[in-house]
Structure 1
Amino acid sequence: MRIIAALLVFLSHVIFPFTQGNQNMATPYADDGITQQLMWLLYPGGSIGVSFFFILSGFVITWAAKPGDRISAYYRRRVVKIMPNHVVTWALAMLLFAGSYTLLWGLPNLLLLNVFVNDNAIWGGANMPAWSLSAEMLFYLLFPALIIPIRKIADNRLWLWAGLAFVGMALVCLVTLTLLPDAPKYPGEALSLPQFWFIYLFPPVRLFEFVLGMILARIVAAGRWPRIGVLPVMALMVIAYAATLYIPWPYSVSLVTAIPFALAIGTFAKANLEGRKTFFGTRPMVWLGQISFGFYLTQAIVLYWLREAVLGKAEYGPVGGTLLIIALAGVTVVTGWLLHTLVERPAMKYWSRSRKPPVQPGPAEQAPAGALSN
């Protein structure tokens, strides 16, 4: 499922190619009317794609967590999963196109600290999509503490706590609108710069999505997921996406799609447990899911450097522009595969495993039924 979320982010960027240092980049279409229509249609995909990643991340890490696993081994796996890919794409972006305008030599971006400060001069730069890794690293850091109370939730109260996580997301929206200054405005949005930063970029407020994913994993593992059809869930996701076209920020950032995404993740996970074949379990989709992290991290290099290096600022008609988008997506699949093959897989193979045996859990710490290991 991750490749769909990554593709949503990609499409929002290919139509609206905006970076801090390159604000007048070419779009695929020479017709500004087509561009504006597609911007309206595809722009929400960027924010909701990231939200899906955050919810799914909480689910997967909780599902794979093994009681008795050493915290040091867990942190090693998480760091090795993210940082080699991040360092390579950061260095390429800085070398190829971002070094001329990224402040502070790109160090806040490299260290994943750039979105912890309310300064729009620091948010962007370097490999722009990597800002979300700042939130992911915070999630990973806090996970060993978060999993303790979440494991203690009684099975019959799991849905209640999932609802409370959703309420927390709603409260963040209210705080954004009522307690943060409404000026200066963020370009193209009704929100101010501080409001945009808080609701979208500030990692601590995205914890509610991660925690929701953690609770979803417990619900599925506890056998308390209701039987929901795959097709109704997919239809609900399409409806939720359509709703984001009309519902304004901050509500459309993650609140509108949180419940449909949660239902989709739990429903497809249960289908996997029951051995039911789904579209997302086919070989091509599994492969695309495996390279999706590389796809996500290399998209800026393809869109903001390679496209212009090969084609300049050329824009095309409806057919040519559409073929260009398909070609750019295909190239990004290739660069994502290269990153996955040459960096991610070797790093995980050689650096992610601890040489020390895991601590044997006591009877009260046994993994829940259905839990999987890494």
Structure 2
Amino acid sequence: MTTSVAPPSRERLPSLTGLRTVAALMVFAFHIYAVAIFASPTVNAWMAHSASQGGVGVTFFFILSGFLLTWTARAHDPARSFWRRRAVKIIPNHLVTWAAAFVFLSLSGLTLTGHFGGIGLDSLPNLFMIQDWFPRGGVFFSMNIPSWSLGCEAFFYLMFPATLWAVRRIRPQLLWPAAVLLIGLVWLMPVLANTFFHGGPPVPGLPVSEDRMWFVYTLPPVRMLEFVLGIVLALIVEAGRWPRISLGAATVLSLAGYIGSSYLPYLFGLVAGAVIPLALLIPTAAVADIRGKASPWRGRTMVWLGNVSFAFYMVHQLVMRWVHYALGATRSWDTPQAIGVTALILALSLLAATVLYYAVEMPLVRLLSRPRRQAPAAPPVPAAADEVEVARPSLTLQR
């Protein structure tokens, strides 16, 4: 059965903004686990399944990016306008955190793979967001380590106008098969990595070789499968073909996918393990907002945290590294003290993120995202507005 839903002319999807908070905290928890702040073997054994899957948070962001950029796409909008808006959204935060990382690494010399080499492969590919094209851990995880994902996002944005044009030509009845195909390809990538990459130097601290990690986790064309999945999911919702799924059930499935990923072989747990639950959660949360159904993710605090989540994502590991370096670069603490250190890092990260959001991100987005003059006519190319606010015509949704 179907029901016609007619949202206001400017419809918001606050639950998706709130869910960004959860995804950012997944990444934060993984990095706390990775730097071994807790000395207790018991706590670390528990965290091996409850906090080790930070990659699930990144998968959420990649699917969400494709979904929201499609959902907010403007008709007859030149590609250059879309690229400008995306650039001013990510580049200022990236430059600020790159500079902070350069200062830290110059003082401490503590890189993932050895001594910091200054200007060169240790820093320049990261500065220009091309680090993900190098199959070396010291390059794709250089500088501010979480910024590796910006190299993927930059590629997604570059390809988005043409990709959306192509995906929109899929007949509505074939959108679900397309989504299943994309999920199957995500699961195929670890198989290809194990088949065609024969292992090399391991990524420090991780049970995987650099080449396999690069192919499955950081190579932009491979990670674009999740981004395109988000595009397809948005078009399924737009076409009124999303089934009736409880937001509570989708949330529980996503939690199960997060925990379950930690029991899979490492390469499968990085991305594939949680892709199906996340592909159910994001559209279901969007539909809950459209239809005005109850959602635990759209509260004022969750939405505010979601708005600053990109800044938080960009600063949190820098804060973690500065604090850990100041207190003892290789030190671990007993559980009460480790909880205190974690709380300190979280508070300082949120403070730094708030400053970055209000002093850099938002002012420059407002200043630079508007065209300085009326652009001449150009071929219609889909582009996207701010990710927080969306507008859609009347929808027909399954129930």
Match of 1:29 in 2: 38
Amino acid at match of 2:104: L
Supply the distance in 1 between the matched residues of 2:106 and 2:253 (Cα, whole angstroms). 39
Supply the distance in 2 between the matched residues of 1:272 and 1:360 (Cα, whole angstroms). 34
Call closer, same or farther: CA 1:370–1:151 in 2, change over 3 Å. farther
- Which structure is higher in RCO with an 8 Å CA cutoff and minimum separation 6? 2
Supply the distance in 1 between the matched residues of 2:378 and 2:209 (Cα, whole angstroms). 51
**2:19 corresponds to 1:11:** no
Shift of 1:225: 1.0
Match of 1:43 in 2: 52
| Alignment check: 8 A CA contact 1:58 1:211 kept | yes
Amino acid at match of 1:303: M
Supply the distance in 1 between the matched residues of 2:56 and 2:217 (Cα, whole angstroms). 10
Match of 1:369 in 2: 393
Match of 1:204 in 2: 221
Choose 47-56 or 317-326, whichever is displaced more: 317-326
| Alignment check: 8 A CA contact 1:68 1:359 kept | no
Call closer, same or farther: CA 1:72–1:97 in 2, change over 3 Å. same
Call closer, same or farther: CA 1:242–1:313 in 2, change over 3 Å. closer
Choose 138-147 or 63-72, whichever is displaced more: 63-72
Match of 1:215 in 2: 232
Choose 130-139 or 109-118, whichever is displaced more: 109-118
Shift of 1:179: 1.2
SS at match of 1:68: strand
What does 1:333-344 align with in structure 2 at a 5 Å threshold? Answer: 333-344=350-361
SS at match of 1:251: helix
Shift of 1:206: 0.4
| Alignment check: 8 A CA contact 2:323 2:345 kept | no
Match of 2:275 in 1: 258
Match of 1:278 in 2: 295
Shift of 1:107: 1.2
Q: Deviations over 1:151-207 (max 9, x none)?
A: 111212111111111122122222111111234444555532211111011111101
| Alignment check: 8 A CA contact 2:63 2:227 kept | yes
Match of 1:87 in 2: 95
SS at match of 1:66: strand
Match of 2:69 in 1: 61
Match of 2:6 in 1: none
Shift of 1:358: 8.6
Shift of 1:311: 7.0
| Alignment check: 8 A CA contact 1:102 1:126 kept | no
**2:141 corresponds to 1:124:** yes
Match of 2:155 in 1: 138
Relative to the length of structure 2, the TM-score reads 0.84
Call closer, same or farther: CA 1:199–1:310 in 2, change over 3 Å. same
SS at match of 2:226: helix
**2:334 corresponds to 1:317:** yes
Shift of 1:3: 1.3
Amino acid at match of 1:60: L
Could you tell me which runs of 5 or more consecutive residues in structure 2 were left unpaired when the two chains were aligned. Answer: 1-18, 110-114, 381-390
Greater helix proportion = 1
Aligned length: 358
| Alignment check: 8 A CA contact 2:71 2:392 kept | no
Call closer, same or farther: CA 1:76–1:102 in 2, change over 3 Å. farther
Match of 1:178 in 2: 195
Match of 1:155 in 2: 172
Supply the distance in 2 between the matched residues of 1:303 and 1:242 (Cα, whole angstroms). 24
Match of 2:79 in 1: 71
Identity across the alignment (%): 35
Match of 2:130 in 1: 113
SS at match of 1:181: coil
SS at match of 2:150: helix
Supply the distance in 2 between the matched residues of 1:370 and 1:311 (Cα, whole angstroms). 57
Could you tell me which runs of 5 or more consecutive residues in structure 1 were left unpaired when the two chains were aligned. Answer: 18-26
Supply the distance in 1 between the matched residues of 2:129 and 2:325 (Cα, whole angstroms). 27
